[in-house]
Amino acid sequence: MRKRAPWGGGTVAGLGLALLLAGCQAKDKEAKPVVYTGPLVETENVLTLLSDSARLHIRLTSPLEQRFENSDILYPKGVTVTFYDKPGKQVINTLVAKWGKFDNAKQLYIMRGAVKVANVPEQQTLDTEELFYNRAQQKIYTDSATFVRIQTPTEVLTGNGMTANQDFSRYGILQPKGVFSLSEAQRLGQ
């Protein structure tokens, strides 16, 4: 006569066999591949020179450049763009920002964070928080809601939105807020 195990051995063995078979079944869901969206190339201390007929037109510098698969370029540690005159000898204009991006699909530079534009010969400066530079149209501009402050040797102009040519020699404020003499603006803290 056969004795049964007091702990119910048949039940435990059956349960163990069921767990073993369940672990061997094919998975219904396959693992999805992880798509990398980060930069393909990172370069430190970048210097990019754009010239035409051996004449320097634009000089771009940045402490860090990140290039992506869609050909966008990111400048997360800041960017400086310097424009030169036709012979390529004299600095005409500079754009400086804490962050920059080149959107390849739109062929547009986007600059953010304490953006400063300086026209050297005219002694004019622009301060704003976001600026766009379209190289094909040779135009710099801001969104119509973005505050801008332009200082010339004699006055300070403030308002929202701005368009200008690439060298910042001609510009317009879309929604002017105020025009102050330079001494008045300094007194008012503008």
64 in a structural domain: yes
Least confident range from 120-129, 146-155, 177-186: namely 177-186
Q: Given a cut of 70, is residue 66 above it in pLDDT?
A: yes
63 in a structural domain: yes
Tell me the per-residue pLDDT of 130-146, one tens digit each, with 9 for 90 and over. Answer: 999 998 899 999 999 99
What mean pLDDT is reported for the chain? Answer: 85
24 in a structural domain: no
Tell me the per-residue pLDDT of 141-167, one tens digit each, with 9 for 90 and over. Answer: 999 999 999 998 988 899 999 999 988
Domain extent, residue 73, equals: 41-145
CATH of the domain at 53: 2.60.450.10
Distance CA 99, CA 122 (A): 26
Q: How many domains does the chain have?
A: 1
pTM for the whole structure? 0.76
82 in a structural domain: yes
75 in a structural domain: yes
79 in a structural domain: yes
86 in a structural domain: yes
30 in a structural domain: no
Q: Quick one: pLDDT band at residue 77, thresholds 50, 70, 90? A: very high
